[in-house]
Amino acid sequence: MVKRPYLRTDDRRQQLLEATSRLLARDGLLGITMVAVAVEAGVSRRLVYDHFADLTSLFEAFFEDRANRSLVAIDRAILAGEGPASGVAGSYAELLAMPIEDQQAIRLLVAGPGLPALESVRARFREHIEQRWLPRLPVADTEMARALLWTLVSGVLGLAELVERGDLSETAALELAKSLAMSMPAALAAASAELATASSSASPAASSAAHRPNTST
């Protein structure tokens, strides 16, 4: 019997998270089980349970770890950028530099199935992204800015997936990401103007209806 090498607690935990990452890349979310992680890491199932009480705890730890990695990279890109377009381009370059399995984890956090185990991590991830990006968007309507932000994030992640599949070159994807970012201010302004017009048109009609005499009796 081959003796398992000794690892410190943090190192062993990270080994199990890396095994989880490989399973996600190879077998998808449903391929991650406590037994599968043990086999992938070459350890006993008991040792996996020593670090994670159950599959929910493992999911939370894994996606929290991947979210934190991506957020560090995103923050670095935002600080280096001189505006939304530059920040998005930098963030996208950081995303492409991540391992494929990390990209898959981020896509699941943003637009994956509504697994209860992911909700707390997803909420923290979204909050962090919004805190960093919403103040940088030139629009007063926070709800509109938030909707456009997550449309952009989903689009950028979609581009990364096309690159992963070989359907789009990294250069073309990066240029498209820049174009999406540069179109944000105009899109926000147009949408805000449309909402303002619709609101002002609806107000007189509503007022007229409120003061119209009731002739039904």
Rg (CA), the chain: 23
Domain with CATH 1.10.10.60 in the chain: 1-52
C-alpha–C-alpha distance, residues 197 and 134, integer Å: 24
Sign of CA pseudo-dihedral 100, 102, 108, 110: negative
Q: How confident is the model at residue 204 (pLDDT cuts 50, 70, 90)?
A: low
Two tokens, residue 137: 């968007």
What would the CATH number be for the domain defined by 55-184? 1.10.357
Domain with CATH 1.10.357 in the chain: 55-184
DSSP annotation of 103:
H
Q: Sort residue 139 into left (φ over 0), alpha (ψ -120 to 50) or beta.
A: beta
- Is pLDDT above 50 for 196? yes
Q: What is the residue whose two structure tokens read 């957020």? A: 71
Give the tens place of pLDDT for each residue, 80-126. 766 666 777 788 788 888 888 888 888 888 876 667 778 888 888 88
What would the CATH number be for the domain defined by 1-52? 1.10.10.60
C-alpha–C-alpha distance, residues 169 and 178, integer Å: 14
Two tokens, residue 126: 């979204």
Q: What is the mean pLDDT of residues 176-196?
A: 75
Q: Does the predicted model carry a pTM greater than 0.85?
A: no
